[in-house]
Structure 1
Amino acid sequence: MAPQTLYDKVFQDHVVHKDESGSYLLYIDRHLVHEVTSPQAFEGLKNAGRTVRRTDCTLATVDHNIPTVSRANLKDLDSFIAQEDSRLQVKTLEQNVKDFDVTYFGMTDDRQGIVHIVGPEQGFTLPGTTVVCGDSHTSTHGAFGALAFGIGTSEVEHVLATQTIIQAKSKNMRITINGKLNEGITSKDLILHVIGVIGTAGGTGSVIEFAGEAIHDLSMEARMSICNMAIEGGARAGMIEPDSKTFEYIKGRPLAPTGAEWDKALSYWKSLKSDEGAVFDDEVVIEAKDIVPTITWGNSPQDALPITSSVPDPSTVTDPIVKAGMERALKYQGLTPNTPFQEIKIDKAFIGSCTNARIEDLRAAAKVAKGHKKADNVKLVLVVPGSGLIKKQAEKEGLDKIFEKAGFSWREAGCSMCLGMNPDILDPEERCASTSNRNFEGRQGAASRTHLMSPAMAAAAAIKGHFTDIREFDYDNSDEPAVAISAEEDKALQDAVYEHEKQPVAETAAAKEEQINDVPEASAPAAAAAGEVGGMDPFTVLTGIAAPLDKANVDTDAIIPKQFLKTIKRTGLKNGLFYESRFTKGADGKDVETDFCLNVEPYRSAEILCVTGDNFGCGSSREHAPWALKDFGIKCMIAPSFGDIFYNNSCKNGLLPIRVPQEEIISKLYPLAAAGKKLTVDLPKQQIRNEAGDVLVEFPIEEFRKHCLVNGFDDIGLTLQKEEYIQKYETIRKDKFSFLEGGSKLVKPIKGSKKSVYGLKTQEW
């Protein structure tokens, strides 16, 4: 057998079936669910009369929408969650997990937290597994040698119903960090530096393996931060070879295998490494010594520079699209070219998110805060642990007291200000030193200004009142043990935190075996649905107005801002489409239309979007982006490249994303769009024609995607026709990967109310 990469091995071990077109059906080992991207998926199951195929492989929690203020007086969700739309999403998830018997960590459970922190913390995430979640930062779990990636809501439903997902094979990319990191340089500096080198589209179509001495020296927490932001480099996923640090981290966690199953798992896990001579499609080598404390200045994670630098000057850039993007970013951020970063003052700081809310991150921030006070010009510093268990451990170490004495606000677990879907948001034009993963326009609040950096750098900025080089910070090193915990103390504290949840498995061996073998041949509704593969309107030939959009890196936050995600339906989103670009506030506070292309005739009725810049739909996995485009009337998007998840989500909703080289768009298509002319998109012939019928360009598309779009085929219906292959794989899995069986059923599920037959209807809330 030819040498294989880590990605090749994990991918191959999960192939259920390979289609003639080259598309793969992959088995999913672990599925994480939260309140924002799951309501429509569960509703789809109910409407089709389908069940969750493997509840033991599914784990749910709430994180995006919930308040992070003290829960000391939490009595019920109705009184605690003030925002009605947030409350509805949380209550909908609570009903869905009861209806479908899914294990759930709610707000009264210490184990509740951000999905990508809870999974590894519980031992639900294991090396060599496939892990998915309706959240783009699922790539976090790749730190364990897992193949982990974000999916859209249609795919969430697909996985719930079939425990599989349809995937094309990605390219292999390796980023090697040679040598050791300098003192004071963190994983956040490392990954921001990497994204600055490769750009936000550098990993598009690839799974990135991070390698090299600097990577292997990192802790598991730091590796998770690296893989978490692989998605910001455009990658489908990020992976790191599992090693002794990985195994030590997992051992003894509530859902980790034990006894003979542990030994069997360990033997397999040790084989998960790229073979000598394995071929990578792309290789990038970076010297660790070149990495210094790094922050971002613009509205993309690739806008990253050393803290010792100054705000860049667009006048030095010749590429017109890049230059326009820089000018827009600096105007939005309120920055003047050539201003030294360390002269820029901040208004607030945020320490948290799935990127940097683990115990290691909190310790790093506490070491900075200790013995200091936040600057007077800093209005608020939020410190938000990633889970209830991390919060408990931090409090055992006294970190909460350090933060509180420094004037920081110590919070409950949740996503918090990372994406501003909850009450933790910035006011317009407030500048934030943030440990989160995205600095998109409006990400942390309308007109908010976000700068990404490490926890230590964010804490230092809060103390000094401006961006600061952490290497020059004056630490208070008195009473060091209060913040610095030895490995032995760390293990003891962690054991104490987990002791209450190391529950004995209540099931007998026979009962457990029965549960593992409980793979339905297909329930009556599913069996009926197995012969039905329709579900979308067929896409064949479209003739329509093409709206011109001259911009690169249009992220999903820009396509549909987060305030429009608080819905449990797939429709009614057209008013939120490009909201920040289409509307501004008038003197009376009401929305006033801008001259954005979709507000101008004839583009109000556009069915095609013609984009000149790369990476359209980058960022979040939110399927709300294609839903909003579809709701407006857009049926086809033409661009040089697309974010991987957005591309998949579009196809699953009957929208056609077409990749055309930038020079051909600019020379052949964009002038016609700008003139208000119609284009004809012919999917069967894979052509784009002008009004005279002349062929302007021919475009490629994956054969499987073309087949589904032309015929209007639904992925779930197609997959249910392959039930025999799924059952065959599960039989093999039960033997070969027996240490993966059981999953979250080892954790006591929520005590819920009596189940409804297919859940409550929306109007019954």
Structure 2
Amino acid sequence: MPAPKSPPRTLYDKVFDDHVVYSGEGDTLLYIDRHLVHEVTSPQAFEALRNAGRQVRRTDCTLATVDHNIPTVSRKNFKNVSSFIGEADSRAQVVALEENVKEFGLTYFGMDDKRQGIVHIIGPEQGFTLPGTTVVCGDSHTSTHGAFGALAFGIGTSEVEHVLATQTLPQAKSKNMRISVDGKLAEGVGSKDIVLHIIGLIGTAGGTGCVIEFAGSAIRALSMEARMSICNMSIEGGARAGMIAPDDITFEYLKGRPLSPRDDEEWDKAEAYWRTLKTDAGAKYDVEVEIKAEDIIPTVTWGTSPQDTVPINGVVPNPESFPEDKRGNVVRSLEYMGLTPGTQMEEVKIDKGFLGSCTNGRIEDLRSAARVIIASEKNGGPNKVADGVYAMIVPGSGLVKQQAEAEGLDVIFKKAGFDWREAGCSMCLGMNPDQLKPQERCASTSNRNFEGRQGAGGRTHLMSPAMVAAACLTGRLTDVRKLMGTQIGEDGGLKITSYFDYLTPVTVSALPEHPTEVKPEGQTPVQAAAAASAGLPKLNIVKGIAAPFWQSNIDTDKIIPKQFLKTLLRTGLGSALFHPIRYDPATGEEDPEFVLNKEPFRNASILICKGPNFGCGSSREHAPWAILDFGIRVVMAPSFGDIFKTNCFKNGMLPLELPQADLDALYEDALSGQEITLDLENEQVIRPGDHPAIKFSIDPFRRHCLLNGLDDIGLTLQHKEDIEKFEERRTAVWPWLDGVGYAKKGQKVVAVPSGPTKKKMEW
């Protein structure tokens, strides 16, 4: 009798199912194929490993670099990190990573390595990112790697530690969402316009709880670099991850890269598997969105959220055109951005231009900007950066920089007055010296336009690389199609080279033995295991003052801005909680109107927010650390950013989702300054006076862990045999994922690339 036919599955279902190590009580334990590490979210993870006497389980599955904190000025005189990085906290984080990778035996691209760059650019360019893999990093824009048909998502520092120690992560299954973009894009419209249009349509919470699969003829026609830009910003639409099914464009991009499958037999086996990674006919999605490609034109943001989008030929919106419950946020955004409703977007002047970031720091992004400069000059338009505008170009990696210089792009940029920089995150989030000053307005290829994102008081408009180039030339937001004229469909006469000319070789190393755990001195194995799995304070009854908040989309940059991420500790962040709105940006003094600066809310142990999507944005675990350090262990809201919610549980905090009506009632209770009680054992919120208690329910396993103070690593290590069995099968079925090492920098490439055919790149 034939076996029953399995039900049709989506791309996400297939990759998730292929990585299940154990499924039982609680979240599913997934195996993690690829782990990217950088200097900001890793120090506390390595320190926790050291304190527990643990090693990195799979050194061949982790790749480390520096990107967030480093300066992007010329490195001609670079000798070492200690003498090159002037800011003490930034230097300390980079030095800490260099010491940690040496101690734990990890592959590292440092500042003297031409392969150094932004994590989400070096992973794909090295072939570290492959179809059908699970990819994680302590950075929310890990969703970038989903462009290859990988399940890629950002994680917090506790999860970074978990992956280093176990090569697994407990994960709840997300919902399936598909966004299809069909038809032909108009000339001058690129991937950044597509994804900004999508986010403007679905909102920053539209994909919450989902993994988005991007599909449709317009998506299939895009290059890999353009696909990466779209998946990169899926997190800005609230999604856990974004994915695009691999195809011939994917395989052509990957073949011959240093960490791609290494010989013909292995490549053929890998490609055969990769071709199965597409959604089956008849598979069901929880949410579907369909978009016509011809409806998209060059798009920019006007406000302080990626959902605040408008076509470049549009106007600054009027708050009265929004639903009443959203007008407060719109008014605040317009005040912060210094914009008047009804103003034509093309009349908005800029002070700075930024082209770079993990969204748009690749070679095609630089080429598209160079094309605008060339075409504008041919059409009699401006060929120099406008007076009063500072414009910077920041390649996403050392190899992108090298390729751009070989193609002469740097000459085009410098001749036009752009500042040509070294690889790094740069002004995208301003953790380094590249920052906006208060009220400076920037045309940016970044991924976020939150308040203070690129510098305290800075004003950010998101757009494509071509649009940034146009704005820099004219000094104002500009429809790039006007500068391109008849050259809009041409390649601009640029010299196009192949990435394979700049490859560094690999050596194949033996798969390392699984390290044995080193128990802290004086502990028996049983005592050590108990200590490892009971590292959190128990949470049951929380009674106290509740701080009332009304805003929606309170992002992690607002909870704890980037200048406070330069720490090697998990503690001491409470005084910086909500810094952008808690303190006067000019004087640094407390804002007496902010709720946490008032009595009795200075001593709040609960936070109640009426607005949805609390904790959206970055994966930084510093946000729950700051809330916890202030003294708050319970946050109530209609919904949470997925990564923030997970990070709260990892720190023994309760992110409690409640119906809007219950939150409205609790908000009024909080305003009165009366105590509220959270009773987790009985799953109820006890209101003051004679009001009836509000019942709730949370995942039973999460509840059990909070009540008993259990952490995930200790629980995972109970399944050590399951992990080992999975790894045996992984080696047999997917051998190309095992044991690849790197040769010394500067040697000739060993891998033999396929001859990539010249195809139309994203304009």
Which residue in the other structure is 2:755 paired with?
none
Which residue in the other structure is 2:392 paired with?
382
Partners of 1:79 and 1:328 in 2: how far apart?
42
Identify the match of residue 519 of structure 1 among 509, 514, 529: 514
Identify the match of residue 649 of structure 1 among 633, 643, 647: 647
Structure 1 residues 347-426: aligned runs within 5 Å: 347-370=351-374, 371=377, 372-426=382-436
Which residue in the other structure is 2:140 paired with?
136
Give yes or no for contact 1:347–1:377 (8 Å, CA) kept in 2: no
Q: What code does the residue aligned with 1:598 have?
A: L
The answer to whether the aligner puts 1:31 opposite 2:30 as a matched pair is no
Segment of structure 1 superposing worse, 40-49 or 177-186: 177-186
SS at match of 2:63: strand
Identify the match of residue 124 of structure 2 among 120, 131, 136: 120
Identify the match of residue 73 of structure 1 among 60, 70, 77: 77
Give yes or no for contact 1:4–1:278 (8 Å, CA) kept in 2: yes
Partners of 2:684 and 2:493 in 1: how far apart?
63
Identify the match of residue 677 of structure 2 among 670, 680, 686: 680
Tell me how many residue pairs correspond in the alignment: 728
Deviations 1:113-158 (A, max 9, x none): 0000000000000000000000000000000000000000000000
Partners of 1:196 and 1:481 in 2: how far apart?
30
Identify the match of residue 453 of structure 1 among 441, 463, 478: 463
The answer to whether the aligner puts 1:551 opposite 2:551 as a matched pair is yes
Which residue in the other structure is 1:464 paired with?
474
Identify the match of residue 340 of structure 1 among 339, 344, 348: 344
CA drift at 1:721: 1.2
Partners of 1:659 and 1:583 in 2: how far apart?
28
Which residue in the other structure is 2:757 paired with?
none
CA drift at 1:483: 4.9
Which residue in the other structure is 2:600 paired with?
602
The answer to whether the aligner puts 1:443 opposite 2:453 as a matched pair is yes
CA drift at 1:374: 3.6
CA drift at 1:377: 3.8
The answer to whether the aligner puts 1:671 opposite 2:674 as a matched pair is no
Deviations 1:314-367 (A, max 9, x none): 1233423x1000000000000000000000000000000000000000000011
TM-score by length of 1: 0.93
Give yes or no for contact 2:385–2:391 (8 Å, CA) kept in 1: no
SS at match of 1:721: helix
Give yes or no for contact 1:295–1:304 (8 Å, CA) kept in 2: yes
Structure 1 residues 146-545: aligned runs within 5 Å: 146-259=150-263, 260-320=265-325, 322-370=326-374, 371=377, 372-474=382-484, 483-485=493-495, 489-491=496-498, 494-498=499-503, 501-505=504-508, 507=509, 512=510, 515-516=511-512, 518-520=513-515, 522-524=517-519, 529-532=528-531, 533-545=533-545
Partners of 1:26 and 1:271 in 2: how far apart?
20
Segment of structure 1 superposing worse, 539-548 or 58-67: 539-548
Give yes or no for contact 2:457–2:585 (8 Å, CA) kept in 1: no
Partners of 2:349 and 2:667 in 1: how far apart?
41
TM-score by length of 2: 0.93
Give yes or no for contact 1:669–1:696 (8 Å, CA) kept in 2: no
The answer to whether the aligner puts 1:44 opposite 2:52 as a matched pair is no
Deviations 1:482-539 (A, max 9, x none): 7534xxx533xx22211xx12443x4xxxx2xx25x1246454595533441000011
Q: What code does the residue aligned with 1:502 have?
A: P
Which residue in the other structure is 1:661 paired with?
659
Partners of 2:111 and 2:491 in 1: how far apart?
32
Partners of 2:89 and 2:208 in 1: how far apart?
34
The answer to whether the aligner puts 1:110 opposite 2:136 as a matched pair is no
Partners of 2:485 and 2:328 in 1: how far apart?
41
CA drift at 1:590: 4.3
Deviations 1:370-417 (A, max 9, x none): 344444444310100000000000000000000000000000000000
Partners of 2:701 and 2:334 in 1: how far apart?
42
Give yes or no for contact 2:389–2:475 (8 Å, CA) kept in 1: no
Which residue in the other structure is 1:59 paired with?
63
Deviations 1:267-318 (A, max 9, x none): 1100000000001000000111100100000000000110010000012334
SS at match of 1:548: strand
Cα gap change, 1:476 to 1:384, in 2 (>3 Å): farther
Q: What code does the residue aligned with 2:564 have?
A: F
Cα gap change, 1:709 to 1:531, in 2 (>3 Å): same
The answer to whether the aligner puts 1:6 opposite 2:16 as a matched pair is no
Give yes or no for contact 2:590–2:597 (8 Å, CA) kept in 1: no
Q: What code does the residue aligned with 1:460 have?
A: A
CA drift at 1:593: 3.2
Identify the match of residue 94 of structure 1 among 98, 101, 108: 98
Structure 1 gaps of 5+ residues are 751-765
Cα gap change, 1:483 to 1:52, in 2 (>3 Å): farther
Q: What code does the residue aligned with 2:600 have?
A: P
SS at match of 2:608: strand
The answer to whether the aligner puts 1:729 opposite 2:729 as a matched pair is no
SS at match of 1:349: strand
Cα RMSD, aligned residues only: 1.7
Cα gap change, 1:444 to 1:324, in 2 (>3 Å): same
CA drift at 1:672: 0.2
Give yes or no for contact 2:444–2:468 (8 Å, CA) kept in 1: yes
Which residue in the other structure is 1:760 paired with?
none
SS at match of 2:442: strand
Cα gap change, 1:591 to 1:503, in 2 (>3 Å): same
SS at match of 2:169: strand
SS at match of 2:192: helix
Give yes or no for contact 1:540–1:684 (8 Å, CA) kept in 2: yes
Deviations 1:67-106 (A, max 9, x none): 0000001112122111110000000000000010100000
Partners of 2:248 and 2:51 in 1: how far apart?
46
Deviations 1:602-644 (A, max 9, x none): 0000000000001000000000000000000011000000000
Partners of 1:378 and 1:186 in 2: how far apart?
28
CA drift at 1:477: 6.0
Identify the match of residue 703 of structure 2 among 702, 706, 728: 706
Q: What code does the residue aligned with 2:584 have?
A: T
Deviations 1:696-715 (A, max 9, x none): 32223122211111110011
Identify the match of residue 611 of structure 1 among 587, 609, 612: 609
Give yes or no for contact 1:35–1:64 (8 Å, CA) kept in 2: yes
SS at match of 1:490: coil
Give yes or no for contact 1:315–1:323 (8 Å, CA) kept in 2: yes
Partners of 2:517 and 2:100 in 1: how far apart?
21
Partners of 1:319 and 1:477 in 2: how far apart?
45
Give yes or no for contact 2:356–2:445 (8 Å, CA) kept in 1: yes
Give yes or no for contact 2:55–2:516 (8 Å, CA) kept in 1: no
Give yes or no for contact 2:547–2:601 (8 Å, CA) kept in 1: yes
Segment of structure 1 superposing worse, 655-664 or 167-176: 655-664
Identify the match of residue 629 of structure 1 among 623, 627, 643: 627
CA drift at 1:470: 1.2
Q: What code does the residue aligned with 1:403 have?
A: F
